[in-house]
Structure 1
């Protein structure tokens, strides 16, 4: 019996664990997928309701109004993304190990994000004639005040998703985003009869409702229970240092600029009608990017709770998410005109090629997201910044060039090229970021 056990152990490898431990590891690995699926489901629900929202907006407002309001919403998301100082990723990375310090971490982050965002938004409104003349309607006193407050609130809205994710309360992320989406849908139709800025106001008022709901749950139920939850052996050896925050923030700002500045770029160069066609096609295809981000966030949370299984978690996420992506890309490429016809015939005619190309670009982006997530866990700050800066510089630069040659389709082609180049380089040098990759390569 002993000889037979030894032979079986040699066949499994020197690091093989007994069957009992393998069973425990199986359930631990499944956790990273379960939480990732919940976050992905939240994104799917939000994207589906978002498509309904914009379909109603496209039929309730003129094309020019949709284009301008979408650009205003994109500006709001850009400013909130800059102003929240990338503290969303800090919440995902450090809330799992903060224990009784979680409440203070959240409150300080909320204050820093909302105040910084408000200051940035005031500056943006004052500089609109220089930065984006197409958004001149935001300089009306009432609209300007609403835009500033809504943008500061949106920074908190984004941040609270990171808190809930870090606390392993992913199910509540689904509820919060569902409420946000449903309130938006009701308001965008109701406000169409009152003002041409109804799209923007529907976002602003929905943010207020979502913030009230999520933070009641956080401060009344979830955060008070954080006392004594984190054991000493799972506590991170260091909290969110200034060096970590600055490096991660710098990289994240490049990504934010690459994604949220595009509608404004299209608006300024091709006009509001093309901005509307671009925005809704981009919105549909970008769901696949959210899938990658959701799985990456789950990977970070599980790695913070169980660092020893980081490599196994990452390989599982890569394999599993790749299968989901291939199916999603196939559906979007085949049904692009049918999907966009929800918004109108002009959207299907002008945006189908962009939707297909953006969907394809999500495949190589999976490798990029996995590498960035592991760099955040392992605090590989220099590599993190190199990846983000390179990826986003390529995407923005190529988009600017190809937009002038190919129209909005050029943006999709630019993203395919940028994501593929960066992913190929990362996979070639995967031993630098993927735990255990050098051992597999040697074997």
Structure 2
């Protein structure tokens, strides 16, 4: 809006010069300058959205506000450079991991070992299928939703309607190749066909379940994801005690304690996301969806990298169990779970960088540096506390597990170097360096698997696991050194991929 120019006062008398143009009388007081915004130069800062607003400023620059185009009001922006997003994702990950861990501990106390093994087989299988079929669309949504604008709802539902059928189909095929999964899922009363259906439903539900967390963050409600996971954990554990213990349904009860809450949470979560997405779409003006080629270029390599993470978390304890025996493998499994919980929390924390960079791509370098400081500041003290309390923490599970305290301390030391790798993985995802992300994730994961595979078996018990832990440290040190000595121009001067 252009201000009306005030009429000159008596101290601002003008008089014509010889060329006929008015000039101020040098004897008069200088005129009061009045700023005309229409005459000011318009400077467009680099951003990823289409809406422009004029700020009340003496320079009257036109600045692009990301929250307007993504349908989130400025009041909803955290203004903390993504710290809230990262903490929310990390806490959601920790809650899910701890709830799973506590659930298996409860199951071990109320059910026979064979029943726990059957239930764990089904749960591990549908979590594996659902995780692989996500195609890394969770992180992709955090990159693509901020600039989507009026296409926000279309982008979200296109993704969900791809993940859910794909996860269900892969789950069904998986169960056909391993019919024991359907037999366990059917329980003692249902037909095997119902078991196939239940396993496919569980796979489809778990394919979408973690993605809802990322969508809530991208839509400006990061702490809703924390409450969602907390309530889910309480309900699932309560059902586990009731179905597996009180009703004595055995492994079938454990399976139902997973499938029931997952289905319910997907229904309720989808309704919530429907409302949030519609509001974001209605408030937005403009916006842009990524091209199909851009989607494929990001998703294919990062999905492969996500598979590398699954290999790291699941294949290593399996190898140790097979090579060192079930008793020694159980000690390693408990220690490895503690490491996996913290590692996943760190990865989730860095995943939030994708949405902050998408909102403010011109600050990519600054946001990456801030994320590194926060990551180390939060997780290094956590590792120190874990190392100091390793023995009493493992003693909760029994003396046999407490013997692995030194192994846990060594693994936590390796995880300190792993944080450097986790930060770099987050930066590469946020800047769209998909192939580079996949190479780093796969190489770091495969090296750990190789270390667990070639470590000589020198005996039994926790002491035999020390070389495995040292091998893990060696891999993480090598990967961290490679990342730290990569020239900054190659790591941070990557042009942020415009959707």
* TM-score normalised per structure 1: 0.80
Q: How does 1:44-83 map to 2 (within 5 A)?
A: 44-83=94-133
Residue 382 to residue 39, structure 1, CA distance change in 2 (3 Å) = closer
Q: Which residue of 2 aligns with 1:373?
A: 426
Residue by residue over 1:270-324, the C-alpha shift from the partner in whole angstroms, topping out at 9 and shown as x without a partner, is 6666565444433322222133123212211110000111111111121222122
Residue 192 to residue 415, structure 1, CA distance change in 2 (3 Å) = same
Q: Secondary structure at the match of 2:418?
A: helix
Structure 1 residue 91 corresponds to structure 2 residue 148:
no
Q: Which residue of 2 aligns with 1:118?
A: 168
Residue 378 to residue 113, structure 1, CA distance change in 2 (3 Å) = same
- Contact (CA 8 Å) 1:63, 1:273: kept in 2 or not? no
Q: How does 1:283-302 map to 2 (within 5 A)?
A: 283-302=337-356
- Contact (CA 8 Å) 2:78, 2:84: kept in 1 or not? no
The higher-RCO structure (CA 8 Å, 6+ apart) is 1
Residue by residue over 1:21-69, the C-alpha shift from the partner in whole angstroms, topping out at 9 and shown as x without a partner, is xxxxxx9872322221222233344444444333322322234544553
Q: How does 1:126-275 map to 2 (within 5 A)?
A: 126-128=176-178, 137=184, 141=192, 142-193=194-245, 194-197=248-251, 198-219=253-274, 221-227=275-281, 229=283, 240-265=294-319
Q: Please, what is the CA RMSD of the aligned residues?
A: 3.3
Q: 2:480 aligned to 418, 423, 427, which one?
A: 423
- Contact (CA 8 Å) 1:150, 1:207: kept in 2 or not? yes
Q: How does 1:9-20 map to 2 (within 5 A)?
A: none
Structure 1 residue 435 corresponds to structure 2 residue 489:
no
Q: Give the CA deviation at 1:72.
A: 3.6
Q: How does 1:336-351 map to 2 (within 5 A)?
A: 336-349=390-403, 351=404
Q: Give the CA deviation at 1:153.
A: 0.8
CA distance in 2, matches of 1:367, 1:143: 43
Q: 1:317 aligned to 366, 371, 377, which one?
A: 371
Q: Which residue of 2 aligns with 1:441?
A: none
Q: Give the CA deviation at 1:88.
A: 1.4
Q: Secondary structure at the match of 2:492?
A: coil
- Contact (CA 8 Å) 1:70, 1:276: kept in 2 or not? no
CA distance in 2, matches of 1:186, 1:62: 19
- Contact (CA 8 Å) 1:160, 1:214: kept in 2 or not? yes
CA distance in 1, matches of 2:152, 2:418: 32
Q: Which residue of 2 aligns with 1:399?
A: 452
Residue 436 to residue 102, structure 1, CA distance change in 2 (3 Å) = closer
Residue 339 to residue 381, structure 1, CA distance change in 2 (3 Å) = same
Q: Between 422-431 and 63-72, report the one with greater CA deviation.
A: 63-72
Residue 264 to residue 38, structure 1, CA distance change in 2 (3 Å) = same
- Contact (CA 8 Å) 1:71, 1:267: kept in 2 or not? no
CA distance in 2, matches of 1:200, 1:266: 26
CA distance in 1, matches of 2:108, 2:221: 34
CA distance in 1, matches of 2:250, 2:222: 36
Q: Which has the larger radius of gyration?
A: 2
Residue 196 to residue 352, structure 1, CA distance change in 2 (3 Å) = farther
Q: Between 269-278 and 93-102, report the one with greater CA deviation.
A: 269-278
Q: Give the CA deviation at 1:158.
A: 1.6
Unaligned runs of at least 5 residues, structure 2: 1-76, 495-499
CA distance in 1, matches of 2:272, 2:266: 10
Q: 1:101 aligned to 140, 143, 151, which one?
A: 151
* TM-score normalised per structure 2: 0.72
Q: Between 110-119 and 256-265, report the one with greater CA deviation.
A: 256-265
CA distance in 1, matches of 2:342, 2:388: 15
Q: Give the CA deviation at 1:329.
A: 0.9
- Contact (CA 8 Å) 2:335, 2:408: kept in 1 or not? yes
Residue 205 to residue 363, structure 1, CA distance change in 2 (3 Å) = same
Q: Which residue of 2 aligns with 1:18?
A: none
Unaligned runs of at least 5 residues, structure 1: 1-26, 438-443
- Contact (CA 8 Å) 1:97, 1:236: kept in 2 or not? yes
